[in-house]
Amino acid sequence: MTEAVREAKREGRVVGLVPTMGALHEGHMKLIEMARDECGFVVVSVFVNPTQFGPNEDYGKYPRTLDRDAKMCEKVGVDIVFAPSAEDMYPDGFNAWVEIDGLTRVLEGEFRPTHFRGVTTVCAKLFNISRADCAYFGRKDYQQLKVIEKMVHDLNMPVCIVPVDIVRENDGLALSSRNRYLSPDERKAALVLSKSLADARKSYSAGQRDPSKIRALIEKRINSEPLAAIDYVAVVDAETLLPVDSLDNPGVVLLAVKIGTTRLIDNILLK
């Protein structure tokens, strides 16, 4: 991996990295295609990162489809699929962690306290291994995107973080590798996430700037679906992710909702 990147750098090619956990879908492909358009050498990492999963989460059953993923990457001109093992990334004696305070303490951080430490550590390692000039992240994992941007800024990492918009199914469901866990009834019920966000956008467009009223509107819609259970609904500042009294500046609605036993996240920017 490092030798291939060294050669690409010698040739003056811009290196683009798309970090994934595999089970690629059209959302990932949008990231890859953007990297392909903008960079001369594209690396896609496929690594189900154990350190970002908490106890009783779905690390064991997370879909692993490396052969299929590699074929998808080959079709769109990816130069390298980097698929290390857990032992490669975390050898015996590994004990170095990258932790970002503040942004990681709220929302997902409250429900998954060790999650972001795993995310930032593995991304820092991937940035170092790939020597990426640009790294592409989807806005669906909005809090993750902001945490990675903060890490890169604060630690002066020489990589440009490129956000890419959410890709949705025709009916509005945000694409996710975890969607395959849903039964047909749960798949239908999961549409309540995008519908509640549409309610929020409509209310905001009509002039509503009170976060509590927008949040109440969303919760009412989600609670009307029997298969849905809310972990959190947050209407917060789009940069700091802190609560605000009014949406005078750009805001973001962040959702985490269990549909049956499957936990889904989604979001929408209000600006």
* 28 has catalytic annotation: yes
List residues bridging with 117 in a β-sheet: none
The Cα-based distances of 117 to 88, 108, 132, 242 in angstroms read 18, 12, 21, 20
The Cα-based distances of 25 to 22, 48, 63, 73, 211 in angstroms read 9, 15, 12, 11, 33
Give the CA radius of gyration of the chain: 19
Identify which of 35, 256, 57 has the alpha carbon closest to the alpha carbon of residue 137: 35
**How do beta strands 160-164 and 228-237 pair?**
unpaired
Nearest-5° Cα angle at 105, 103 to 110: 130
Quick one: tokens of 126? Answer: 């991937």
Identify which of 147, 173, 160 has the alpha carbon closest to the alpha carbon of residue 241: 147
Active site members: 28
